[in-house]
Chains A and B, each alone.
Chain A
Amino acid sequence: MVEETIAGLYALQQMRCPVHLCIGQEAVAAGVCAQLRTADYLMSNHRSHGHYLAKGGDMKAMFAEIFGKATGCSGGKGGSMHLVDLTVNILGTTPIVGGVIPVAAGIAFGTVLQNKKRLSAVFMGEAAAEEGVFAETLNFCALKRLPVLFVCENNFFSVYSPLSVRQPAARSNSKLAAAYGIPAHAGDGNDVSGVYEAAGKAVRHIRVHGGPYYLEFKTYRWREHCGPNYDNDLGYRKESDFIKWRKRCPVENYQRKLLRDRILNSAVLEGMKSRISAEIAEAVRFAKESPFPPASDALSGVYSNR
């Protein structure tokens, strides 16, 4: 609903930064983050709105950041691709592919040096597995048995470049993690219950045994790589694939299941939706009404003062 709101308002040209919407990929963020504690750390990539919100990131600060306002989570200096909320240990999201993977592992390394029991989760796309730091980080995490939860969302595309031109067909990238001796699981990223169960197993493993764990979930990006629109007209992917994945909408299917199993009824569901809508409307209002950062902010804050 948040992402649909952004898509709907994007044409106003008030959100003047790239946005990478996670519509179609919500189950991974929701299922994994439901297994994390507030004290656990999280880092993510360019497509991070879902991860940020699922971990408990402040929605108003996120919208304000996308609107470039002083009240944004990064004071307007980061935008959609640089979300942070230290109150829930989201230490940052960045768009350089694979860029936060070693940083997230470093957080775990730091907490180990401090004798703290914390888990550090990092969300990555499948293309990040092509980066050198991915291999370097897996190696170090395996070597030092760092409490890192790797969560790979395999949506088959890096911008418009399909997986088939980037990685060998017969090899899931979870096998790369397994090759380093890291327990790995590959599963359906559109089944939130399955994601939740797999993440629970992974998190328990990390907490009990220490050491990293790798999760790979296949899922699908509905909209364009960057921006509010559908882009099936470009021809880089098949319309039939999109339709197939559209039917597997993680949100609709889970709602249907909850109604069918009588865990929810439609009145409760509608109540939840209207509460969420109100929260989103309030966040948008907050973002729009917030002031822009002062001019002096542009040239200050390069160094921390000490």
Chain B
Amino acid sequence: MGITTADFTAALETFADRIRDAREELTALDSAIGDADHGINMDRGMTAVREHLPTLRDGQAGALFKQVGRTLISTVGGASGPLYGTFFLRLGTALGEAEDVSPADVARGLRAGLDGIIGLGKANLDDKTMVDAMTPAVEALEAGAEADFATALAAAADAAAAGRDRITPLVARKGRASYLGERSAGHQDPGATSATILFEALRDQLGRAG
């Protein structure tokens, strides 16, 4: 049995809920090394996404994620808008018009999304960005999705959190935090934090499917 669009919709609702819950925390993290708007912007974007979900729930997963991407690009602004927007656009494009989405499709789609982020933001591993949380998460999913989807999703969420924490001591080399030079070391990255929230939402809503 595949993963349904309703499952993905539930994951996006959970992501939106948790972004709202983390709004202050994300903004506080961004105050330390950025411009104090990450939580505010992501919440504005996911609130806009939430309004589209009821009409997308019954369609194709590809169409769902493309609309999510377009909505984020049009509402978030900053760097997060184009980056998360591209992530979901590429995920939607990878899933295409498939009616039946397999765990392997999800892994491939998330890889395409991550590639989109790297292409646009030009961040490498250890630059201290969302890429440091997403890369190990996607790798974990690719390694285990076909064997045991729920376990692989849990491993992906853990890998994202570990990536987020691993880069805290590093000096940022991309994005606004890079302007601080050495002073960015020791601060948790807001983008890696929101990316971890995304993979935790996928774990909690898709783990039961597939």
Q: Do A and B come from the same complex?
A: no
Interface residues of B (CB under 8 A from A): none
Residues in A lying within 8 Å of B, measured CB to CB: none
